[in-house]
Structures are given as C-alpha cells and as structure tokens.
A and B are shown apart, each in its own frame.
Chain A
C-alpha cells in the first residue's frame, strides 16, 4: 500500500518537494554566516591547536612529531601538573562559588523582582547595568576600589569602624580569589537574574495561585513550583557558568596578573595556558606544544562536562502546557 501511494506523483507532491528544497536552501543561506564564523574562529583554531599539540616545539620552531608527548608532559610532569592541578582546583572553586553566590543571589533577586515590588523596574536596570560594562574596565575599577591604601573599600571599612577588616584583599592568598569572584559576581549577577526572571514570568500565574490555594507558603511555592518550572533557564545558566568558570581569564589576569598572584592563589587554567603557550616576561619562553596540549585538554574537559550536564539537566525539564 505504502509503495503504491508513493509511486504516484501528483502535482501536489511536486509542489511539496519544491517547497522543501526551497526551505533547505533558505536554511543553508541563513546558516552560512554563522557556520563561516564558527569555522574560522572555532574549528580552525581548534584544529590547529590539536595539530600543534602533537609536535615538539623549540620555542616557535616546530620540531618532530611526538604524538601524545606534550599531553604527557602537561599531565604527568610534576613541574607542570603541580600548576595544572592548582589551577584546575581554583577553577573548580570559582565554579562552585559563582554557582552559590552569583547565581544564588540572582535567583533570590529574580524571585524578589518577580513579585514586582515598588520600583522594581529601577532595580532590574540597576542589577543589569554592570553586565554591559567591559570586563577590562570593571577589573581595573575594582582593582582600584580594593587598593589597600587608597581604595574605596578599605576607606569605607575604616570609616565605619571596621578597620580590622581593611585587609589587602588582592594581596592575601586567603582573600584574593574570593575578592575576584565577588567582583565577577557583581559584574554578571544581572545576567542570570534576567534569565531567571524571564523564566519565572513564563510560568502561568494560575499555577502559583493554585499552589497558594493549596496552602503552600512562599518558600514552598518557590521550591515546589517555580524552581522545577524554571529548569530550562537553570540548565542554561549552569552550563554557561561552567564554561565561563573554566575559561575565566580577564578578571584574574587584570587583578592578579599572569602568574595568579599572590602565590598562584588566583591561577586559572586560562592563565596557565597563556603563560605556557606564549610565555611571559618573567615566566619564560613560549612553548606552543605543551600550550596547545593544555588548550586541547581544557577544551575536551569543558566540552565533555557541559555535554553531560546539559543532558542531565535537560532531562528534568518540563514543558509548560
């Protein structure tokens, strides 16, 4: 039967086929710029990084093919992997801290704004404003604010009688990373807030009122109704935060320098990569081989984990009917 109907071509079928072809052409046309950009700026560098990573490099001259030698050096040579492990765990700390402080605060702000308190539009803009500022400016600005002698933060602390708290935030291994994380949170909190807020607004009001009639407290409504229903937004934010945390570069570079000052307490995979691949005035010469191997490893790690996370998180999403 199916074969029979298939073999008979009507003018209608032809029109359908033509329309499908047009559609494909359109799609190709629309996708082309994005694909071209992706190819030039993502796949090409990726491919070249992989290519570089399997060769021995003498400074900038490509030597012989050494297979996974560079990877071995990055992962198992104690001179390198000491930094790798340190930087990796710093990135992990950044991810956890940003999840808790930046995104946690964003969630609270979003829940607060969703109730449309007086002047919430103003707050909404105020929270979002730092997001549009350049990271470089924010890094330098906060470096000034946190200056132990002239900085705004310590001046304020001293003026309100908390002189003991006026520590050199960026100078102590105990506080430097935390300070940078807070700066990052200050910079970015508006973004997850906005995404969460949009997700909350998408939840039909009826559902919340139904829960209220069911006797749920505000906290239970947030936990049992709003939170599960904003799962898609949470997925996006978790994955973006993960990628951002493991690619974190500008803020630690500007505020702590290429060596993760003080004492590598703010060292990140990104800084380590940059130092290794391009060298620095005091850290020595560039090594494209191990640098590329490191870049490839970072990429594989981020790619694998964001894929797993996306899969897992997506599985708990529900469509709002």
Chain B
C-alpha cells in the first residue's frame, strides 16, 4: 500500500536526478534511450556499425522498463534533461513531447526521402506540420494459426466471416480452444478488434469518422461490434480472466488453434517452436476485402536541448537510410518504415505483403491525442461488451460520447 505521496516524491526526485546528465568529451558521446529491453543486443550491433563509420561519435544505448518509459522520458525532458536521441512512440504519445518543444524538428535538417508520407504521418505534429522523429517500424494485426491443429482436425483456412465461425465451431466441437484471446489485459482486446472490425465497418469509415462526417454510433460500427462480440463463445473458458501471458501460453502449447495478435508477437511464437502461420482477419462477405490494421510503432527523435545536436542528427540521418532499415529487419525482425530493405524473413515478408490492403489501427492512429483516448474507450467498451454488461449499441454510444467530450 504505497502512498501516492511517494510516487509524487519520486517524480520530484527524478527531475532533480536527471538534471545532471550528459557531459562532452573529445569524442562526442550520445545517450540513446529506448523501451526495447529485449533489443539491447541488436541495437548495440547496429550502433557499432554506425560508430565504425563515425569514429568521432560514441552512442550509449539504455533501455528502460517499457510500461514506465513514457513517464521516465517525459519527466526527464520536462526537467530540461534526457538523452540526446531517443525512441519515441508515435501519434498522440509523440505529440505529448513534440508539442512542448522537447524534440528537434527534422524536416529540412535531414533527408527523409526514403519514407512515405503515410508513415511520416505518425511522427508529424498536427499543429505545425513538422516531422519530429524518423519512423522506424510498423506493426500489423494478424491472425496467427496453428498449422498442425488445422491439419489434424481437417479445418480449411477460413476466408470469410462465416467460414471463420464454422472453423471455430469445428475446433470447439473437437475440444480445441478456437481463439486464445482473453479480456484480462484490455489492450489485447483492442488488438483483437483490429483484425475483425475494419472488415465489417469497411474502407471508408476511417476517413469519415476522423473527418467528423460520421461518429461511432454509425450503424457500420455498431454492426461490426455486434458481429465481433459473437466471438466470445470461441474464446477460452474463463476468457474474462485470461491475460496476455495466458493467451500466448495457450497458443504456444497447442491448446488454442488461433491467436489474434500483432506482428510483434511473431518472435515469441518462433522462439516457442510453434508450427504456425499468419493470415489477415476474415472478409465480411465472400469477395470482400481482408484488411489488416497497421500503425507506426514509433520513431527516433532528437532532444531539442541536446548539446550534441549535430552528432545526434547524424545518427538520426543514419536511421533514415536503407542500410539501417536492412539491419532493423534482419536483426530485429521488424517491418521497417524506411523503404528499400530486403525482407528476408518469410513471415515478415508476408506481413509486409498484407500491407497491400491496410487500414489504420483506428484508435491509436486517430484518437489517442486527447483524454479520454479512443483506446481507453474502446478497450473498456469491449470488456463491457464481452462480459455482457452492455450491448453493442450502448458501447458504441459510450465511445462516441467519450470521443466527442475529449478536448
């Protein structure tokens, strides 16, 4: 039962501590912060490649705990400190540090020609139109499936919603959990919705709802929620209490036939040795589109208060080039945002190919700028929908109202 005061004091202390960071030597030293604790080794290799070409620059990579990274970073920046270069999140979270002027605008200072306008959107501040970070990788929502189980139970790969339900029923009858997903970690529900909702609400909805032409009480969205909610009978028994770790475990050990997750889950299942493949979510009707929801994971930014801005920009320029993108996909199994990389990993190549029919991961891309965020509203709404506490109409109305109330 730690007191709130303690947390507040931590914040104050943090500010004080970070006030004395970073000193310059003959060799320019750059601090590089990230939340990717699992990627430290790969980043050090990438950095080594950079340092070979730039012997006058030394980069130190520090990875913080992922869930508290935003807090740590923003607290440091607010105190006028922080690293020279940093991993930033995208969209709303980027705005939180770009808007107060903590980040150096990059357009005009470095060459961003290897990035598409779509990708740059995730690191552009809407207010001034400047780019504040080099996008590094995109994430994609896919349906993982266990090839052995599909074969063993003689289930054909579903392409439409009806086929998806039929396949799930077949697994259920055979005593296999059709879908590993659960409700306990609310963000996994938002992810899961990304595989199903877009194909129901269609291609145009995103543009209309972001422009204000319609809202979330739109019939298409309500219908999508309605359909989506029928999946609860194919989720594990006690799915209300199944968290992310349990979901992965169910899929890892072959108790569940499918797992709806992000492309970031690929390494986990590869490492676990599951014989799996991925597919996009089902089409609403035969012949309909099978869109995948994608979003930009984040980017690399420069601290506007850095004393080594020149060196920092040099490194950031490096991240916007093809050789960097190549290393990113080779060493970290990412789908890089920068064009021109050869994706050797077959699974990633598949993800990349799915981008042919991509749709923005709606709440993260468009509604995470204000409070309450679309993600919070959708996650909570989905929990209520799947526990039967509220109907699709009610959930849609809550989301719509919440979005409208956000400043």
Contacts and interface: CB of A to CB of B under 8 A. Distances in A.
Q: Are A and B associated in one complex?
A: yes
Given A147-B246, A282-B373, A171 B190 contact: no
B92 interface: yes
Interface string B166-192: 000000000000000011111100100
B5 A42 contact: yes
Nearest to B72: A278
Interface in A233-287: 243-244, 247-250, 257, 259, 261-264, 269-270, 273-274, 277-287
B67 A60 contact: no
B242 interface: yes
Nearest to B96: A285
Contacts of A287: 371
Contact of A60 (B78, B238, B243): B78
B3 interface: yes
B242 A148 contact: yes
B9 A278 contact: no
B95 to A, nearest CB: 8
Contact of A173 (B190, B238, B249, B387): B387
Contacts, number: 194
B241 interface: yes
A167 interface: yes
A11 B9 CA distance: 51
B240 interface: yes
Residue of A41, A49, A78, A263 with most partner-chain B CB within 10 A: A263
19 contacts: A59-B96, A59-B97, A59-B99, A148-B241, A168-B184, A168-B242, A171-B238, A259-B186, A259-B379, A264-B380, A282-B190, A282-B368, A282-B373, A282-B375, A284-B371, A284-B372, A285-B371, A286-B71, A299-B4
A110 interface: no
Interface in B348-407: 368-373, 375-376, 379-380, 383-384, 387, 389, 402, 405-406
Contacts of A78: 405
B238 A148 contact: yes
Given A79-B405, A148-B236, A262-B240, A171 B78 contact: no
B2 A60 contact: no
Given A149-B236, A286-B74, A286-B96, A262 B246 contact: no
Contacts of A15: none
Interface residues of A, number: 61
Contacts of A181: none
A103 interface: no
A172 B99 contact: no
Contacts of B239: 148, 168, 171
Contacts of A170: 184, 241
A279 B71 contact: yes
B277 to A, nearest CB: 24
Contacts of A146: 241
Interface in B69-101: 70-71, 74-75, 77-78, 89, 92-93, 95-97, 99-101
A44 interface: yes
A31 B2 CA distance: 24
Interface string B1-38: 11111111101100000000000000000000000000
A285 B372 contact: no
Contacts of A44: 9, 12
Interface string A164-177: 00111111110000
A220 to B, nearest CB: 35
A109 interface: no
A5 interface: no
Given A168-B241, A277-B8, 6 more contacts: A154-B238, A171-B242, A280-B70, A282-B187, A285-B92, A295-B4
Top 5 A-B residue pairs of the complex, sorted by shortest distance between their CB atoms: A168-B241, A148-B238, A171-B240, A171-B241, A168-B238
B225 interface: no
B125 interface: no
Contacts of B182: 171
A135 interface: yes
B116 interface: no
Interface string A19-49: 0000000000000000000001110111011
A219 interface: no
B286 to A, nearest CB: 34
B44 interface: no
Given A146-B241, A282-B187, A45 B71 contact: no
Given A60-B77, A79-B372, A248-B1, A166 B238 contact: yes
A97 B101 CA distance: 47
